[in-house]
Structure 1
Amino acid sequence: MSNDRPTDPASAAPTPAPGAPAGPYAAGTPVPPRPAMPPAGVPQPPYGSAPATPQQQPAPRTPASRRRSVIALIVVAALLLGAVGATIGALNRDVYSAAGFVRTYLGHLAARDAAAALAVPGVAVSAKQLAADDLPADASDALLRRAALGTLTDIELVSDTDRGNGRHEVRYSYNAGGVFGESTFDVESAGTRFPLIPAWRFHTSPLSVVNLTVEHSTSFRANGFAVDTRQVAPEGEKPAFNNVVNLQVFTPGRYTFDHESDLLTASPDKLLVEKPAAVDEATVTTAPTDAFVDAVQKAVDDQLDACAEQTVLLPTGCPFGTTIDDRVQGDAAWSMTEYPEIEIEAGEDAWSIPSTPGTAQIEVTVQSLFDGSVKQLDDDVDFDMVGSVFVTGDQKVTVVTEPAPSSRRN
């Protein structure tokens, strides 16, 4: 029998040399190196996370790709410049054009913003400029305010004519206070405000002047705004029964001039101002109201009653009186039999009371110079009353009567 036994493969495996790694690697197989430990202080990915993928460096750009990028930038820049140019062109045509400049001014008037309208270049003028435009240099600016502006709607451009040398004639239509109108404005270039954006100003101011006559009063209204002629008259000019004042107004605009108070009234005079730098005329003619006539009637009656309290034959400052050839004994006693029915009409310097009849009664004792007889005289004395009427600033009525040219005893 043989002593040989089957050999165990495991027991037949070679024993690794000292220092060699253990594992299922056959002899001669290269052993992978262990990963090097990172230096201390370098942050490590959390346990179990995937290992960081090394970043790839971009491929170097070729001349062709650089050319394509430059061309793309040029195209984008050209498109942007074109868009900016188109926008500026549209703004210059619609907003910053001569027509757009005038439209801005008209828009302020439509909004009843008088201050903004006056601030538009070329609108406000001095006395010297008014005179240069053949307008009254003393014209007041009292109506260049919101309270005196009317309505302005339906503003439409009619034409914009280039006259050369930076001058334009711009024509607009509109509805001013319910009346259709058209106005032409003279506009000139004023340089540029920003690159490529033009600026404009009125070559001729769009202001006009209204020459207003106010008859029989020192006050009037313009579109409901009350004005005292003493406030708008030239310096040093005294108020009168009839007054003439010059007033600057915006063009275009519809203005209604009238008067309304407890004592006086006037039919409205409506005026459409549509031509810049022109003089338009209007008149306010006042007439007495029933309240005025009643006030004058009362003042006259009171004055006649005061005259009747005098105990003389010829009351001082009164429209009636009488003379007696005989001797008067005692005081005379007057009373009113019929008061004059007052009418008022306009005079040269004041309201006047035309000759109006009335009757007073006198009672007095007289002694005859012929035979010495004494009798009681009781007579009606007819008279004609004439007077002037004045209205003070606080609407008080003053009547000044004139001694009647004749008094007749019945």
Structure 2
Amino acid sequence: MSQALVRTAAGWLLGLMLAVVGAIVSVNLVNSSVASPQQPVREYLEALQKGEGERALGLLRASVPDADPAMLDGTALQTSASRITNVKLGGAEQRSGNRVLVPLDYTIDGSQLRTEFLLESTGTEWLFFHKWAFVPAPLPTVDITVVNSNEATVNGVPVNMPGGRNTFAVFYPGEYEASLNGQFFSAPPTSATVSGRDAPTAPLNLLTQATEELNQAVAARVKEFLDQCAAEAGKQQRLQPDCPFYHATNNRVVDGTIKWSITEYPKISIEPFDGKWVVAPLDGKARINAEQVDLFTGAVSALNEVHDFSFTTRLDIEGDTIKVTPLLSF
């Protein structure tokens, strides 16, 4: 009876020891996985990838600065996170005050980058499982400017640009690409990578330029004006018509023989100036054909001369309407 009791007690003791060891192993396993300092970072990255800005903000425990929040949710946030590849979480590095540093190595556009997240212990759960949370800090920002426009596109999302500039609160890590794709004005894309809350980020400057569609539309209106002006000058038989071109001579030009034509149309260049869009001075060439009489000899000869001319215009654009107004001085 005593030997059987001893064997039973030994069996129970062995089972208890195995249970304790198993519990310790389980606790250590949980503390090194779902209760590890890396777990909040994993959940934060997952929220970024899903475009869940509210969840990401709550996990990061970050404050939002006084800036445009357009990049903090949805498509803009997903686009930013989608450019992060080759993600590798490092081991937690101990810091003072129950804090740890969790490094994150990754790649954006072929560049190897690292972000370091600072977390702090916030106690335990069920007596054994550690609780970790990000150390609160403000979100970083990205400044964007655009020449002569009140709108732009950032990470595929249209945004307002009051006075041609705006500041956007952003999550990190991520990449933010700005561009302008308008019918008449556009700017090539430019991007900035935000690798940390304190990492300096260069401003994005969109250099707006006229599109080929606008250049062609203005060129067509200038050509139409010059052709009509030349035709009217011939119709009125004028050497000095109300046009950018004219002819001066001491000879008598035979009435009914004057004909004007444009031999070289101006090249169009539209540039920003003082918050507006202006057309650079327009330079071209016009030909006059006629018969002329020398007042001293009476000799009749053919007049065939090409004159350089130059003039300016005012460009007005409202919606889809383009208006080009020639500005002539006589």
Query: TM-score, normalised on structure 2?
Result: 0.71
Q: Which residue of 2 aligns with 1:173?
A: 105
CA-to-aligned-CA distance 1:302-330 (integer Å, 9 cap, x gap)? 677899999xx9xxxx98699xxxxxxxx
Matches within 5 A, 1:4-403: 62-109=1-48, 112-115=49-52, 118-119=55-56, 121-123=58-60, 125=62, 129-131=63-65, 137-147=66-76, 148-149=79-80, 150-205=82-137, 207-223=139-155, 225-228=156-159, 230=160, 239-240=162-163, 243-278=164-199, 280=201, 281-301=203-223, 340-357=266-283, 384-390=311-317, 392=319, 396-399=320-323, 401=325, 403=327
Aligned residues: 288
- Mapped contact 2:47–2:55 kept (Cα < 8 A): no
- Whole-angstrom distance in 2 between the partners of 1:123 and 1:349: 40
CA-to-aligned-CA distance 1:234-277 (integer Å, 9 cap, x gap)? xxxxx44xx11111222111233223344333333232211214
The offset of 1:294, in angstroms, is 0.7
Higher helix proportion:
2
CA-to-aligned-CA distance 1:108-130 (integer Å, 9 cap, x gap)? 44xx21207844644364xxx34
SS at match of 2:140: strand
Percent identity, please: 22
The alignment yields a C-alpha RMSD, in angstroms, of 3.8
The offset of 1:402, in angstroms, is 6.2
Q: 1:73 to 1:121 in 2, by over 3 A?
A: farther
Q: 1:359 to 1:176 in 2, by over 3 A?
A: closer
Tell me: higher relative CO, structure 1 or 2? Use CA pairs within 8 A at least 6 residues apart. Answer: 2
Whose Rg is larger?
1
SS at match of 2:41: helix
- Mapped contact 1:345–1:354 kept (Cα < 8 A): yes
Q: Which residue of 2 aligns with 1:371?
A: none
- Mapped contact 2:210–2:270 kept (Cα < 8 A): yes
Q: 1:120 to 1:203 in 2, by over 3 A?
A: same
The offset of 1:161, in angstroms, is 2.1
Q: 1:121 to 1:355 in 2, by over 3 A?
A: same
The offset of 1:211, in angstroms, is 0.7
- Whole-angstrom distance in 1 between the partners of 2:158 and 2:42: 30
Q: Which residue of 1 aligns with 2:301?
A: none
Q: 1:213 to 1:344 in 2, by over 3 A?
A: same
CA-to-aligned-CA distance 1:86-122 (integer Å, 9 cap, x gap)? 122122123322133223323444xx21207844644
Q: 1:349 to 1:304 in 2, by over 3 A?
A: farther
CA-to-aligned-CA distance 1:263-293 (integer Å, 9 cap, x gap)? 3333332322112145522112122222220
Q: 1:65 to 1:139 in 2, by over 3 A?
A: same
- Whole-angstrom distance in 2 between the partners of 1:277 and 1:303: 57
SS at match of 2:60: coil
The offset of 1:381, in angstroms, is 11
- Mapped contact 1:212–1:245 kept (Cα < 8 A): yes
Listed as ranges, the gaps of 5+ residues in structure 1 are 1-61, 132-136, 234-238, 323-334, 362-379
- Whole-angstrom distance in 1 between the partners of 2:126 and 2:317: 62
Listed as ranges, the gaps of 5+ residues in structure 2 are 237-241, 247-259, 288-306
- Mapped contact 2:75–2:157 kept (Cα < 8 A): no
